[in-house]
Amino acid sequence: MKQRLGLFLGACAAAAMLLIGTGAARAQITVAEGYTPPDDTPTVKVGGTIFADYTYQLFPRAVDGDGNVYHPNAFNVTRAYINVTGSISHWVSFRITPDVVRVGTVSGTTGNGSVPGLSGTLTYRLKYAYGQINLDDLANTPFGKLEQWHGSWIRLGMQQTPVIDYLETIYRYRFQGTVFPDREGFLSSSDLGVSAHLVFPGNFGDIHVGGYNGETYTAPEANDQKAIEGRLTIRPLPMVPILRGLRLTGFYDHDHYVMDARRDRGVIDLSFENPCLNFGAMYLKAKDQNASASKPEVIAEGYSVWATPRTPFGLEALLRYDYLKPQQGTAQRKDRFIGGIAYWFPVKGNVAAALLADYEQVRYRNFAPSKPKEERYALHTLFNF
């Protein structure tokens, strides 16, 4: 694996040097007549994303300090991004995004333990921070058209992993909760590493591959093992208007907890986007030898199916069902149902605002010790600007 990672990193570095060198060489050549040079004025843009909600938990109930049984309910902010994006030139761009987290409420692998004086406080941590070499200019140069590379790039730093960010562009309800592989703890939306993204000509799909620490953005690198992740998406019929939104995706994450202790994930996803309906169906399989090669391999698998019927005037339904078998060879099962009604406010440009009233139920079957059923009602809001 180390040899493959070394080859991958070397290829990315060579590609970056080639692009920079090519740009320098072109500066010494007389460009074609009529060619308009790209605008290299540096830019900086600031935006934000807010997820705020009110949640009422029907089950399980809780007991306060005086012995009273009650239904937990609270107003909360689950995400508050500050997005700083910009470009240094038409070749080089960047993004810096801190994310809100409540200190001291999560323990374990996230590293979000108790901090004296800050326990329970909403604070910021870094979610994305990367530089990007854009390959768009390879699509239209003064020397002719090379390929349809628009949207292709190379990134280095803390960045989106290949599949979660892709899935969330189709499943628009991240403000209700994360997509299936992220929600069950198998994959993360961000990690530190280097990756490359290539868009196929003719809108037939894209490929995104990268090498990452594998510990996600919430923890530092723990050893010498690296994760190799790759996603391939095919859009089979982009020339047919009614089927243009049909895509088939395969994803694989090859990693190790320590040497010879596997941490692998595979995902197959079918999705469809249309003005009247967005739909997705996903299958996931994971293999783990947590922390040691001497431990038995645990194989988990599950699937997620969702649909969002839409109207032309902003009303939209959300229907989702997740099923997880945490360990093959046992009778343990976990299923989740989400149903809701949303209203998306009419907006212009790259902004969004929405309200979602939903019901969520989670059942744990044949767990030892047993786990209670979860039921909750919520009002979720999205503000993206």
Residue 11 has pLDDT above 70, yes or no: no
Q: Please tell me the predicted confidence (pLDDT) of residue 357.
A: 98
Instruction: Please provide the size of the chain in residues.
Output: 385
Residue 14 has pLDDT above 50, yes or no: no
Residue 35 lies in a domain: no
Q: Please tell me the predicted confidence (pLDDT) of residue 23.
A: 41
CATH classification of the domain holding 236? 2.40.160.10
CA distances from 373 to 102, 186, 261, 377 (A): 25, 22, 33, 14
Average pLDDT over every residue of 213-223: 94
What's the domain range around 320? 2-26+42-384
Residue 296 has pLDDT above 70, yes or no: yes
Average pLDDT over every residue of 246-266: 96
Residue 150 lies in a domain: yes
Residue 203 lies in a domain: yes
Q: Please tell me the predicted confidence (pLDDT) of residue 35.
A: 59
User: Is residue 217 within 8 Å of 127, Cβ to Cβ?
Assistant: yes
Name the band, by pLDDT with cuts 50, 70 and 90, for residue 116. low
Average pLDDT over every residue of 241-257: 97
More confident residue, 198 or 19: 198
Residue 37 lies in a domain: no
- Chain segment 22-62, per-residue pLDDT in tens: 443 333 444 445 556 778 899 999 999 999 999 999 999 99
Residue 7 has pLDDT above 70, yes or no: no
Of 117-126, 145-154, 201-210, 274-283, give the lowest mean pLDDT range.
Answer: 145-154
Average pLDDT over every residue of 77-103: 94
Average pLDDT over every residue of 155-171: 98
Q: Please tell me the predicted confidence (pLDDT) of residue 33.
A: 53
Q: Which of 91, 101, 110, 227 is nearest to 159 (CA)?
A: 227
Average pLDDT over every residue of 58-72: 97
Residue 32 lies in a domain: no
Residue 288 has pLDDT above 50, yes or no: yes
Q: Please tell me the predicted confidence (pLDDT) of residue 18.
A: 42
Average pLDDT taken over every residue of the chain? 88
Q: Please tell me the predicted confidence (pLDDT) of residue 293.
A: 81
User: Is residue 94 within 8 Å of 128, Cβ to Cβ?
Assistant: no
Of 42-56, 113-127, 184-198, 265-279, give the lowest mean pLDDT range.
Answer: 113-127
Q: How many domains does the chain have?
A: 1
- Chain segment 129-153, per-residue pLDDT in tens: 999 999 887 755 554 455 566 889 9
Name the band, by pLDDT with cuts 50, 70 and 90, for residue 290. confident
Q: Please tell me the predicted confidence (pLDDT) of residue 136.
A: 80
Name the band, by pLDDT with cuts 50, 70 and 90, for residue 19. very low
Our measurement of the distance from residue 347's CA atom to the centroid of its chain's CA atoms, rounded to an integer in Å, reads 24
Backbone angles phi, psi at 169, to 5 degrees: -75, -20
∠ CA 356-357-361, nearest 5°, is 115
Name the band, by pLDDT with cuts 50, 70 and 90, for residue 101. confident
User: What single-letter amino acid sits at 238?
Assistant: P
Residue 342 lies in a domain: yes
Place of tokens 């009419």: 346
Residue 33 lies in a domain: no
Residue 34 lies in a domain: no
For the chain, percent of residues with pLDDT exceeding 90: 76
Secondary structure element (H or E) that encloses residue 378, with its range:
strand 374-384
